[in-house]
Amino acid sequence: MLYTHATIITVNTNRDVFTNGAIFVRGNLIADVGRSEELILKYPEEETYNLEGHIVIPGLISTHMHTAQTLLRGAADDLELVSWLCERIWVLQGNFTPEDGYAAARISIAEMLKTGTTCFLESMFANRYGFGGLCKAVEESGIRGCLGKIVMDIGTYAKDPKWAMHPGLVEDREMSLLGAIKMRERWDKKANDRIRIWFGARTPGGVSEGLYKEMASISREKSIPITMHCAEVKADREFFASLSPPQTPMSFCDNVGLLGPSTVLVHMVHLDDTDIAKLAETNTHVAHCPTSNAKLASGICRVPELLNAGVNVGLGTDGAPCNNANDLMQEMKLAAIIHKAKSYDPTLVPAETVLEMATINGAKALGLEDHIGSLEVGKKADFVAVDMRRVHLQPYFSPVSAIVYSATGADVRMVVVDGEIVVEGGKLKTMDEEEVWKEGEKRGHEIAERAGLGEKVKGRWPIIV
């Protein structure tokens, strides 16, 4: 198929933007990219697909996502983190069934695909949500997924009983670490290589040092990448400082073998200069989630300093209870704006940098930069077309600015993953959307009832039925 007449932001090495460009897809790969008139002459026999009026970008890559939490969208707004986590999220998640996990994966993936995300890193899917159902949902939907299976052996957080996890979520070494390895053997590289299985380690405080070390050594031996939340809130930094001898977030991670090019650390809000230097030195990746950090009042990640130091930073939405959208297009806008506000410097983190974070940097973080993250010959055909023929998107002068600052996921009209059209005319082709959202609605409310939170999640104003 020859896709023609689009403005194409390639994010190739040269960062070329074609104003009337074409992409030739053969099988699941990009066979050619260039000017429309040249490619039409070069491939006269090929079926064409006219994308006039659209901007085409590489498929967006979310480096941090909790698929289970989409059933809890808006169920924990405007709460501080301990109440958010211990009184709402863990209680709700501790009441999930595997069928809920599958429905959550489907609604998450449907939303991501429709808003232009073609690959995501699931942070830590628990055993009770039914890990096989997540893999099945990825396989059926056509999306690409790096799926972190939770690794943990302590049922608290930062060793404070106040931060106890819901018992329904607690896993031991066997269920979590060995379970992840089993899932890896069953699912890694399945679905035409769209599925990769990762270790989704719990935050320090929720995993013993021995288990971290064992996971890190298996990670190196079997090439299983690791993702983990780290230094998200001030209390995390205080936890590291309270250890003996006192640690910083990155000295701790270094000591237990977590740092390296196969690790994605998430949030990373509370870092000092030595932490940043350690990340750069070890080529460890960072997933930046500005909406989540702002909404939970965790703080603002030092992204300009990380980028200056040469650290690879990707972008993530985090989960639906702290965002409340899995829309990376919206996340790009906040990522471009929030660092300007904090620093009084509007030149920091420009639109181009943010689009890199959401595409090629994300691909590097996932170890997939040879396959995805830019529109170049030989890479997988993963791309997104945004229809610009709309009043809120015109006029535009810089296509990158228009994508980062003006468009949202609702403007995505077509999505191709692995050479297949999975969204066309703004509609999902691989799932029945109505069935997916109705199932999500039903199961989300059932979980809240089972958790005894049916009334609390309805907000602060009187509800009249």
Task: Pick the closer one to Zn ion by CB: 34 or 205.
Answer: 205
- Nearest distance, CB of residue 198 and Zn ion, angstroms: 14
- Nearest distance, CB of residue 290 and Zn ion, angstroms: 13
Task: Pick the closer one to Zn ion by CB: 348 or 357.
Answer: 357
Q: In 290-412, which ranges are continuous DSSP H helix?
A: 290-295, 303-308, 328-343, 351-358, 360-365, 399-401
Task: Pick the closer one to Zn ion by CB: 21 or 148.
Answer: 148
Asked if 20 and 36 count as a contact pair (C-beta separation under 8 A), the reply is yes
End-to-end CA distance of the chain: 52
- Nearest distance, CB of residue 126 and Zn ion, angstroms: 13
Q: How is 205-256 classified by DSSP, letter by letter?
A: TSS-HHHHHHHHHHHHHHT--EEEEES-SHHHHHHHHHSSS---HHHHHHHT
Asked if 363 and 375 count as a contact pair (C-beta separation under 8 A), the reply is no
Number of residues in the chain: 465
Q: Distance between CA atoms of 145 and 442, rounded to whole angstroms?
A: 25
Q: In this structure, what token pair is assigned to residue 64? A: 């941090």
Instruction: Tell me which residue has tokens 């790969």.
Output: 29
Using CB positions, name the residue nearest to Zn ion: 318
Nearest to 9 by CA among 40, 48, 51, 43: 51
Task: Pick the closer one to Zn ion by CB: 171 or 318.
Answer: 318
- Nearest distance, CB of residue 89 and Zn ion, angstroms: 10
- Nearest distance, CB of residue 69 and Zn ion, angstroms: 8
Site for Zn ion in 147-166 (CB under 5 A): none
**Interface segment toward Zn ion; rule CB under 5 A; list 38-46, 153-161, 315-323, 392-400:** 315-323
Task: Pick the closer one to Zn ion by CB: 318 or 331.
Answer: 318
Q: Distance between CA atoms of 194 and 55, rounded to whole angstroms?
A: 25
How many residues bind Zn ion (CB under 5 A)? The answer is 1
Q: Distance between CA atoms of 153 and 170, rounded to whole angstroms?
A: 8
Task: Pick the closer one to Zn ion by CB: 111 or 318.
Answer: 318
Phi, psi for 101 (deg, rounded to 5):
-60, -40
Task: Pick the closer one to Zn ion by CB: 85 or 457.
Answer: 85
- Nearest distance, CB of residue 289 and Zn ion, angstroms: 7
Say which residues have a Cβ less than 8 Å from residue 224's Cβ, sequence separation at least 6.
180, 181, 184, 197, 198, 199, 218, 262
Task: Pick the closer one to Zn ion by CB: 290 or 399.
Answer: 290
**Interface segment toward Zn ion; rule CB under 5 A; list 103-111, 245-253, 280-288, 313-321:** 313-321
- Nearest distance, CB of residue 430 and Zn ion, angstroms: 26
Task: Pick the closer one to Zn ion by CB: 121 or 211.
Answer: 121
Q: Does the protein bind Zn ion through residue 318 (CB under 5 A)?
A: yes
- Nearest distance, CB of residue 20 and Zn ion, angstroms: 41
Instruction: Tell me which residue has tokens 């040249």.
Output: 38
Task: Pick the closer one to Zn ion by CB: 54 or 66.
Answer: 66
- Nearest distance, CB of residue 407 and Zn ion, angstroms: 25
**Interface segment toward Zn ion; rule CB under 5 A; list 35-43, 317-325, 390-398, 403-411:** 317-325
Sign for the pseudo-dihedral over CA of 369, 371, 377, 383: negative
- Nearest distance, CB of residue 316 and Zn ion, angstroms: 8
Q: How does DSSP classify residue 163?
A: G
**Interface segment toward Zn ion; rule CB under 5 A; list 43-51, 211-219, 318-326, 370-378:** 318-326
Q: How does DSSP classify residue 417?
A: E
Asked if 111 and 124 count as a contact pair (C-beta separation under 8 A), the reply is no
Sign for the pseudo-dihedral over CA of 446, 448, 449, 454: negative
Say which residues have a Cβ less than 8 Å from residue 302's Cβ, sequence separation at least 6.
269, 271, 276
- Nearest distance, CB of residue 245 and Zn ion, angstroms: 29
Task: Pick the closer one to Zn ion by CB: 105 or 351.
Answer: 105
Site for Zn ion in 88-127 (CB under 5 A): none
- Nearest distance, CB of residue 357 and Zn ion, angstroms: 17
Q: In 115-147, which ranges are continuous DSSP H helix?
A: 131-141
Asked if 156 and 181 count as a contact pair (C-beta separation under 8 A), the reply is no
**What are the CB-based long-range contacts (under 8 Å, 24+) for 173-178?**
173/211, 173/214, 175/127, 176/127, 176/149, 176/150, 176/151, 176/152, 177/151, 177/211, 177/214, 177/215, 177/218
**Interface segment toward Zn ion; rule CB under 5 A; list 32-40, 167-175, 316-324, 445-453:** 316-324
Task: Pick the closer one to Zn ion by CB: 142 or 314.
Answer: 314
Where along the sequence are the contacts to Zn ion (CB under 5 A)? 318
